[in-house]
Amino acid sequence: MENKVIINTDIEKGIINKNIYGHFAEHLGRCIYEGIWVGEDSPIPNTKGIRNDVLAALKNLNIPVLRWPGGCFADEYHWKDGIGPREDRKRMVNTHWGGVIENNHFGTHEFMLLCELLECEPYICGNVGSGTVQEMSEWVEYMTFDGESPMANWRQENGRAEPWKLKYFGVGNENWGCGGHMRPEYYADLYRRYQTYVRNYGENKIYKIAGGANVDDYRWTEVLMREAAHFMDGLSLHYYTIPGDFWKGKGAATDPREEQWFITLKKALHMEELITKHSKIMDKYDPDKRIGLVIDEWGTWFDVEPGTNPGFLYQQNTIRDALVAGLHFHIFHRHNDRVQMTNIAQTVNVLQAMVLTEGEKMILTPTYHVFEMFKVHQDATKLQVDATVGTYEFNGEQLPAVSASASRAKDGKINISLCNLNPKEGAALTLQLRGMIDQEAAVSGRILSAEESNAHNTFEQPDRVKPVAFTGATLENNQLNVELPPMSVVVLTVE
């Protein structure tokens, strides 16, 4: 079948919230320590302890929002252990992630500094599982109270006079699992109670995010919406793309087999069904779509790289991950009426990371490049896309061969992202720019692709997978003719 895509340049479908391009960094493995924080005395060049190379790479992504400190770690984290002189901070065991010592050197002040340097919004996840209401309440007071108060005074003693601006606050994480193994009825009540004391001080207005469902646990969403919708601004959802079985073997990150490729993309596309069904339940209680669906953990989860600490969740990142990222963004764009934020897991050295580090070295992953290429969609106006595309078949199963999304940026340029899911065959596409009146328009683009389905960057070959100029698109009479190579992600700009 021919691949025909109509970009309706005159049918606008709301804004693609830039927070869809959000991130998540947990005290897990080498994400925070080594990956972001090296300390002020490190030989690795740093800004007040935060490594400069990672900072510069992440800055280039225009990260809009960063979630911290977990994950499972959040429900064991006691923020008061992570403030004051670093040498006096309490050491604890990170029981979830490798049983290693956590020295609390990266705490609230360091995280807020990171966000300031990245110019992104902090999204802090509070501790419901093992923390008290008072502890959560005081954390918010510590960060945001302007004036005389026990916590604000303490913050000032620790070197920060002005309160920080804090918009996003999560009330616990995975409360159905590592965050307390609760039933939704119980968590809904706890959520109502804890969030009461997450106060808005002065001008600071907090967007409260309730801990949401695991994958297809629709009952969780139903109960939370029924019992607590009135008290929340966002409800989370976690879904990871795991080609195998979570407990018996997830699959290798660099597996070259087409079967693994196919199943990974198929599972990535499952996100569409999950969002549709969770949204439908949310619509019942919130028809005006005031409450955002916040997918604050998503991405690939493979077996850890052989020879690395199993608790550190370090994995390689291939062109397959790039396709997973591109497909997710297209799904999130399609649901921009409900999906207000997403946070990939995780930013550095953990799961589907942007960058990998080894000592003083750093490489960018294929996923990084997709985030960088797609940043043109951040806060852009979504354009309606009508696509009729062929299929990519494997072993009698079918997936759509091509995925497309389009938006108009504030500067008037139209950006079109395309994914060819087939690792073996190219795809020819016609894209009609319906409603466009500019006959003088020109097209340019970039492509991320590879020769092999497990192609990835290493410290020895850091640029094996990286975007290059794309010459496979021509524009004539408002129609784009595009030749997509196999397993490729392309972003075209029409201006």
| Whether 174 is catalytic | yes
The CB-side HSE value for 474 (13 A sphere, CA atoms) comes to 5
Q: Which residue, 72 or 380, is less far from ligand AHR as judged by CB?
A: 72
Q: Which residue, 104 or 346, is less far from ligand AHR as judged by CB?
A: 346
Least distance to ligand AHR, CB of residue 61, Å: 19
Number of Cβ within a 10 Å radius of residue 378 = 20
Q: Which residue, 3 or 300, is less far from ligand AHR as judged by CB?
A: 300
Amino acid of residue 424: K
Per the CB < 8 A criterion, the answer to whether 335 and 279 are in contact is yes
Least distance to ligand AHR, CB of residue 321, Å: 15
Rounded CA gap, 449 and 453, in Å? 9
Rounded CA gap, 372 and 389, in Å? 26
Q: Which residue, 79 or 392, is less far from ligand AHR as judged by CB?
A: 79
Nearest residue to ligand AHR, by Cβ distance, number only: 71
Least distance to ligand AHR, CB of residue 27, Å: 9
The one catalytic residue among 141, 174, 227, 372? 174
Least distance to ligand AHR, CB of residue 301, Å: 8
Chain positions contacting ligand AHR, by CB under 6 A: 26, 70-72, 173-174, 297, 345-346, 351
Number of Cβ within a 10 Å radius of residue 282 = 23
Amino acid of residue 460: E
Tell me how far CA of residue 374 lies from CA of 69, 267, 293, 325, 333, in angstroms: 26, 21, 21, 10, 11
Per the CB < 8 A criterion, the answer to whether 266 and 398 are in contact is no
The one catalytic residue among 26, 141, 297, 372? 297
Give Dmax over CA atoms of the chain in angstroms.
Answer: 69
Q: Which residue, 25 or 282, is less far from ligand AHR as judged by CB?
A: 25
**Residues whose CB falls within 8 Å of the CB of residue 358, separated by 6 or more in sequence, listed in order:** 459
Least distance to ligand AHR, CB of residue 25, Å: 10
Q: Which residue, 258 or 305, is less far from ligand AHR as judged by CB?
A: 305
Per the CB < 8 A criterion, the answer to whether 399 and 414 are in contact is no
Q: Which residue, 127 or 405, is less far from ligand AHR as judged by CB?
A: 127
Q: Which residue, 365 or 420, is less far from ligand AHR as judged by CB?
A: 365
| Whether 297 is catalytic | yes
Give catalytic residues, as residue numbers.
Answer: 174, 297
